Amino acid sequence: MRGKRTAVVAIGGNSLIKDEKNPTVEHQYESARETCMHIADMIEQGWEVTITHGNGPQVGFILRRSEIAAKVAGMHEVPLDVCGADSQGALGYALQQNLQNILYQRGIRKNVATIITQTLVDKDDPAFRNPTKPIGSFMTKEEAQKRIEENGWSVIEDANRGYRRVVPSPIPKEIVELETIQTLISHGIVTITTGGGGIPVIDPGDGNYRGVAAVIDKDYASSLLARTLQVDLFVISTAVEKVALFYGTPKQKWIDRLSCAEAKGLLTEGIHFAKGSMAPKIQSIIWYLEAVPHGKALITNPENLGRALKGETGTWFVP
Ligand code: ADP
Ligand code: MG
Select the more confidently predicted residue: 248 or 103.
Answer: 103
Q: What is the phi/psi pair of residue 137, to 5°?
A: -80, 165
Rounded to a whole number, what is the distance in angstroms from the first to the last CA of the chain? Answer: 21
Residue type, position 148, single letter? I
Indicate if 18 belongs to the active site.
no
Helix ranges (H only) for the chain are: 25-44, 56-73, 80-105, 141-151, 178-186, 218-229, 260-269, 278-291, 305-309
- The one-character DSSP state at 171 is P
Q: How confident is the model at residue 104, as a pLDDT?
A: 97
- Is 74 within 8 Å of 217 (Cβ atoms)? no
Taking only the tens place, the pLDDT of each residue in 150-165 is: 999 999 998 788 999 9
Q: Which ligand is nearest to the CA of 58?
A: 1
Q: How confident is the model at residue 3, as a pLDDT?
A: 61
Query: Which of the residues 110, 133, 173, 264 is marked catalytic?
Result: 133
**Residue 13 neighbours by CB distance under 10 Å:** 21
Alpha-carbon distance 191 to 184, whole Å? 7
Is pLDDT above 90 for 102?
yes
C-alpha distance from residue 181 to each of 67, 173, 257, 312 (Å):
34, 16, 31, 32
- When pLDDT is cut at 50, 70 and 90, the band that residue 1 belongs to is very low
**Given the CA of residue 16, which atom of ligand 1 is nearest to it?**
2
Percent of the chain with pLDDT over 90: 92
Structural domains present in the chain = 5-119+189-318 (3.40.1160.10)
Q: How many CA atoms lie within 13 A of 109 on its CB side?
A: 1
Taking only the tens place, the pLDDT of each residue in 54-66 is: 999 999 999 999 9
- Long-range CB pairs of 301-304 (<8 Å, 24+ gap) are 301/15, 301/237, 301/238, 301/239, 301/240, 301/241, 302/11, 302/15, 302/34, 302/35, 302/38, 302/237, 303/34, 303/38, 304/241
**Given the CA of residue 276, which atom of ligand 1 is nearest to it?**
7
In this structure, the residue with its CA closest to atom 11 of ligand 1 is: 277
Is pLDDT above 70 for 93?
yes
Q: What's the chain's average pLDDT? A: 95
Taking only the tens place, the pLDDT of each residue in 105-144 is: 999 999 999 999 999 999 999 999 999 999 999 999 999 9
Alpha-carbon distance 265 to 275, whole Å? 16
- DSSP-based three-state secondary structure for 174: strand
Question: In terms of Cα–Cα distance, which of 153, 172, 180 is closest to 50?
Answer: 180
- Is 193 within 8 Å of 114 (Cβ atoms)? yes
Indicate if 253 belongs to the active site.
no
Question: 13-17, 19-23, 115-119 — which one is most confidently predicted on average?
Answer: 115-119
Q: How confident is the model at residue 159, as a pLDDT?
A: 77
Instruction: Determine the residue of 252, 277, 282 to mutate for testing ligand 1's pocket, defined as the one with the most ligand atoms within 8 A of the Cβ atom.
Output: 277
Alpha-carbon distance 260 to 265, whole Å? 9
Ligand 1 pocket check for 12: Cβ under 6 Å: yes
In this structure, the residue with its CA closest to atom 18 of ligand 1 is: 278
Percent of the chain with pLDDT over 70: 99
